[in-house]
Amino acid sequence: MMKSKADEEDYWNSSKFKAFTFDDEDDEFTKKQEVEPQLPHRVFPASCFLFPAGISWSVRETASSLREQSFPKIDTTPSLPKNSSGYSLSSLFKGKEGEREMMDCAAVSLEKFRSLQEKLLLLDEAVGVHDGNVITAVLIYLKKSLSKEVLFRELESRQTALRHFIHYLTESKEQRLLLELYRALGRTEDEALLQYKEHLRITDENKRRDFLKSCVSLPFSPEDAGHVQDHYTLLERQIIIEATDRQAETGGKVEIFQKFPRRASILNMPLITTLYYCCFYHYAETEGTYSSPANIRQTFRIAEKQYFVTALAARAKLKAWHDVDALFTSRNWLGFTRKKSPLSFSRVADILSKNNAPVQVLQEYVGLVDDVELRVALAQKYKCHFIVISTYRDLKDRQLLLGYRGKVERGSEEERKIDELLSNPQIRWKN
């Protein structure tokens, strides 16, 4: 069923807003209409709904007791002994007015509930019927008619109601009251997180930085506290780097910015993106500058592996193969160099190939893959023929080498190499 309705399209354009199309009547479900539907007993919900306090509920006969209950009631409260806190829930409301009747649309005005005990019973009844709408309605009434201190105190021992209240305050964006609530409940970490979240509203980077600075001392969990500190430090740096680099870019004197113009500002980017950026534009800088990758690595305690992955991706993107090489080269005490990597060489090859590294570069790393099978598979995938050839030679597998001869270009250097090996009498082939 494809949608194209020229006539209705016109209509839409006339309303000057983004158009959307409607399905036609030939909808699969509307085709067969001969069956007369049996309507549910209440097509339009009787005005069975809550009205604001003060307005009386519409009355509807409640004949439920006359009807036979065909399905059993199941216990929806947790399988724990009921509280024995002294007051009986039913005594006050039974058969008269209360939550259950609220649902049944009996004439009830919440303002009748004036004593604290009545209010709390109302709330507990609301929680008992599992209708969040009703729970929130009662909470809104309690919020209006009780002092914060009393309300918070009573909510502390009523978790279901409390969660409804928190959600209501969140949705109606009553930040301040919510913070007060958290504070009153001793939920300091929630309080800190909520306050920290406010930074998202601040668009000016300097103001945002200052705000984050003020967040550092909030009572976060030790782990989160570290993150927030890092967030502040990072933004502070980003502001400095951004100012310098923007100037360098518009000045037109720095080659790298001319060759690879920045696509976006570095402000508010994650740490790893920032590291990548610095590895891209500021790789050679000494540790003293804010933008040097080494400095970032140290300041933010970036793990070795993570640093390598990022630096590798950045330098490979620039096709700075020399830097890539240097990244992995280490010297032992005798001065011999060897390749070392905190991440597997197969991954290194993967990153390089995704950055279109030439075969000459790729094969160096593919050749370092320990697992023979994987090495051959990768070498074939990346067309590092010499790696395949030398691996087969090491395996002394003449048959595989012969087979591979058909896969390389005729008259190529690879072919010559294979022929040379095949005719080498020194090799003891296993087959």
Partner 1 sequence: MSERDSPELPDFSVLKRLARDQLIYLLEQLPGKKDLFIEADLMSPLDRIANVSTLKQHEVDKLYKVEYKPVVSTSDQLCFLIRPRIQTVKWVCDVVNADKAAGKFKRYKIIFTPQKFYACETVLEEQGIFGDVSTDEWAFYLLPLDEDIINLELPEFFRDNFLEGDQRWVRTGGSALHLFHSIYGPFSKVYGIGRCSKMVYESWREQVKEGEQKARQAEVGTVFLIDRDVDFVTPLCSQVVYEGLVDDIFRIKCGCVEFGPDVTSSDKSIKVMLNSQDKVFNEIRNEHFSNVFGFLSQKARNLQTAYDKRRGMDIKQMKTFVSEELKGLKQEHRLLSLHIGASESMMKKKTKQDFQELLKTEHSLLEGFEIRECISFIEEHINRQVSMIESLRLLCLLSLTENGESNQFSNNLNSAWPCQSYGVDHLLTFANLKQLGLLVEQQPGETLTVMESKMGKLVNDKTAGKLTDAFSSLAKKSNFRALSRRLSLVPKSDEEYDLRVPRDMAYIFSGAYIPLSCKLIEQVLERDGWTGLEEVTRLLNGHEFAVTGSNGADLRPQSDAQRIILVMFLGGCTFSEISALRFLGRERGYKFIVLTTAITNSARLIEAMLDNHV
Residues between 387 and 416 with contacts to partner 1, criterion CB under 8 A: none
**Nearest CB to partner 1, comparing residues 166 and 418:** 166
Residue 303: CB atoms within 10 Å: 10
Task: Please list every residue from 177 through 216 that binds partner 1, using CB under 8 A.
Answer: 193, 196-197, 200-201
**Nearest CB to partner 1, comparing residues 71 and 333:** 71
C-alpha span between 238 and 272 (Å, rounded) = 12
In DSSP terms, 330 is beta-bridged to 338
Task: Please list every residue from 348 through 367 that binds partner 1, using CB under 8 A.
Answer: 351
Is position 263 an interface residue for partner 1 (rule: CB under 8 A)? no
Task: Please list every residue from 281 through 320 that binds partner 1, using CB under 8 A.
Answer: 300, 302-303, 305-306, 309-310, 313
| Residue of 231, 282, 297, 417 that binds partner 1 (CB under 8 A) | 231
Shortest spacing between CB 140 and partner 1, in angstroms: 5
**Nearest CB to partner 1, comparing residues 185 and 400:** 185
Residues 6+ apart with CB under 8 A from 155: 161, 162, 165, 181, 185
Shortest spacing between CB 407 and partner 1, in angstroms: 21
C-alpha span between 72 and 129 (Å, rounded) = 16
Task: Please list every residue from 100 through 139 that binds partner 1, using CB under 8 A.
Answer: 103-104, 127, 130-137
Stretch touching partner 1 by CB under 8 A, among 60-68, 253-261, 286-294, 382-390: 60-68
C-alpha span between 142 and 120 (Å, rounded) = 9
Residues 6+ apart with CB under 8 A from 297: 275, 307
Question: Do 409 and 418 contact (CB within 8 A), yes or no?
Answer: no
Task: Please list every residue from 33 through 52 that binds partner 1, using CB under 8 A.
Answer: 33, 35, 37-45, 49-52
Shortest spacing between CB 25 and partner 1, in angstroms: 7
| Residue of 119, 164, 208, 282 that binds partner 1 (CB under 8 A) | 164
Q: What stretch of H or E contains 329?
A: strand 329-331
Is position 3 an interface residue for partner 1 (rule: CB under 8 A)? yes
Q: What is the DSSP string of 351-413?
A: HHHHTT--HHHHHHHHTT-SSHHHHHHHHHHTT-HHHHHHHHHHHT-HHHHHHHHTTSPTTSH
Stretch touching partner 1 by CB under 8 A, among 30-38, 180-188, 240-248, 280-288: 30-38
